[in-house]
A and B are shown apart, each in its own frame.
Chain A
Amino acid sequence: MNGDFLALLPKAPLAQVSASAPPIVEGTTVFAFHCREGAVIAGDHRATAGNTIFSDKTEKILELDSHSLMAIAGVPATAFEMARTLQTTFEFYRRSQLQPMSLLAKIRALSQLLRNNIPATLQGFGVVAPIFAGIELSDPKATPCIYFYDPLGAQFEAATYAGSGSGSGSIKSVLHYLEKWGDPPPAEMSATEAITLAIRLLMTAAEFDSATGGVNPERDMFATIKLLTRDGIRTVDVKEQERCWKEKAR
């Protein structure tokens, strides 16, 4: 009765990999940065296995509960399962304990899943390096926090931005530049400006990384962009992204 959903699940044996293992599906650009209203979390839609494009309609920004999000980079099978486990874990805790799980506990829950996944990570077929964004609801003055993880489960708080996936290198450079010399820097941007920046960043990442894609406003293909504020999570729909793209992002 301690609100631990994982304790209810049977212990699964460690996965084994063989020489005939299926191709690993990975390659991504996901990122999060602070803006004036809260935090923007965005990602492309492409899933690849080697040189093969598996899908251009993959959702990589997953809502875990009303005030927390996970952006996944790495092997989707493991990442989706982690997100699903966290969704149930957070809701199970909130309902059974009659209070929401604290932000620190949520952050550690993801860290714990990554640690449990170390055998698959070390064997090279289950690597996941997610970004987590959430807000401490018990603190009325709290603002959204962004954390990024290494595949072994270490967590790091991002003061301004975080990026993960094969295409994140180029956009982290852009975000660093904007934080230093941008006018305004991303943290002072309005929601509209931040959405516009997110689309531009994904277009930039796709330019340099073949594993990033599925975002092409010219072909009516838009990103997944979510805005986390104290009021909850708002998904920036295609119409709003289209408006931003037509008005500003071009």
Chain B
Amino acid sequence: MTEEPYRWLEAIGNRREYIRDQIKGGTPVFAVSRPEGILLLGVGQGQSKIFEIYDRHGFAALGHPVDIEKIRQAAIEAAHMEGFNRSSKDVTLRRLISFALSTTLKNGFEQIFSPPIMVESIFAELGDTAGEDVLVRVHYDGNHRYENDGIVIAFWDSRREEEAVNWVRKATKAKDSLAQVASVCLTAWQTLVDNKGFAEVSPPDEPLLKIEGKSVEAALLDRKLTGSVHYRSLDLNRLKS
């Protein structure tokens, strides 16, 4: 029956609805480009949401843990093969996403008789300066967009995601420390999870660096690190505000 075009469209529509419904419980992840590097942040309960992909590349995602793992492994394999066969400079997000990941995601999404890949994600690539950083928001169907203003949030509700990005943009200043930026992200995280409006929220006076009963996971693609590996995990409690 799915050979008939309108059946196929209906099946795709149902699949989209199913995926959105399944991801609904997921909590947002953040990537913010700063002078120190790119801050990646997520909050979980045991499951990791922030990952290192390659020397200058990070990944943050929400969705089904098995699917996150699939995308993570695919990205790591593609990046390392490219880095080995050519050089680490040739590993770029533009090539990684255009030629390796988005096609895999799109094919996975459109194969209506196979289980869907349920992942909303962010990929980050560290540049020499904040202006050269590349942040990409990648959706479960392979659709993706490059963000130019240095702030990306992945959440299952696109309208709320956009509100959060606008709020974080207004709430962060050029001179803010990493702790202050992390605090703003966690405030936005709490607001999204509590399903509150951003109009009445303002950045906390005292930095918010933990969420009760949850584990906050943060990493920095550090511009100052001199070796080939720029990714390092961050302990927010040890950050100076």
Which A residues form the contact surface with B (CB < 8 A)?
A: 1, 5, 8-9, 66, 84-85, 88, 91-92, 95-96, 98
**A91 pairs with B229, CB closer than 8 A:** yes
The CA-CA distance from A222 to B51 in the complex, in Å, is: 40
- By CB atoms of chain A within 10 A, which of B48, B54, B84 has the most? B84
Given contacts A66-B227, A84-B84, A98-B48, contact A92 B76 (CB under 8 A): yes
CB-CB under 8 A for A96 and B84, given A66-B227, A66-B229: no
CB distance from B140 to the nearest CB of A (A): 21
- Measured between alpha carbons, how far is A5 from B83 in the docked complex, in Å? 12
Kindly provide the distance from the CB of B56 to the nearest chain A CB, expressed in whole angstroms. 12
- Distance (whole angstroms) from the CB of B225 to the closest CB of chain A: 11
B81 CB contacts on chain A under 8 angstroms:
8
Instruction: Type the 1/0 row for B75-88, where 1 means its CB is closer than 8 Å to any CB of A.
Output: 01100110110000
Given known contacts A1-B73, A84-B84, A96-B73, what 13 new A-B pairs fall within 8 Å (CB)? A5-B84, A8-B81, A66-B227, A85-B84, A88-B83, A88-B84, A92-B80, A95-B51, A95-B53, A95-B54, A96-B76, A98-B48, A98-B51
Docked Cα-Cα span, A66 to B53, in Å, equals 17
List 7 contacting pairs A-B, 8 Å CB cutoff, sorted by A.
A1-B73, A66-B229, A84-B84, A85-B84, A92-B76, A95-B76, A98-B48
Is B52 at the interface (CB under 8 A from chain A)?
yes
Closest to A1 in B: B73
Tell me which residues across on chain B come within 8 A of A8, comparing CB atoms.
77, 80-81
What is the interface of chain B, defined by CB distance below 8 A to chain A?
48, 51-54, 73, 76-77, 80-81, 83-84, 227, 229
Q: Is the interface of A mostly helix, strand, loop or mixed?
A: helix
Q: How many A-B residue pairs have CB under 8 A?
A: 29
Complex Cα distance, B53 from A1, in Å, reads 15
CA distance A84 to B52 in the complex (A): 20
State how many angstroms separate the Cβ of B143 from the closest Cβ of chain A.
26
User: A200 vs B223: C-alpha distance in the bound complex, in angstroms?
Assistant: 38
Q: How far is it, in angstroms, between the C-alpha of A9 and the C-alpha of B84 when the chains are bound?
A: 10
The CA-CA distance from A203 to B227 in the complex, in Å, is 30
**Bound CA span A92–B77, Å:** 8
Nearest neighbor of B80 in chain A, beta-carbon distance: A92
Q: How far is the CA of A9 from the CA of B54 in the complex (A)?
A: 18
* Chain A residues, Cβ within 8 Å of B229: 66, 91
- Chain B residue at minimal CB-CB distance from A85: B84
Closest to B85 in A: A9
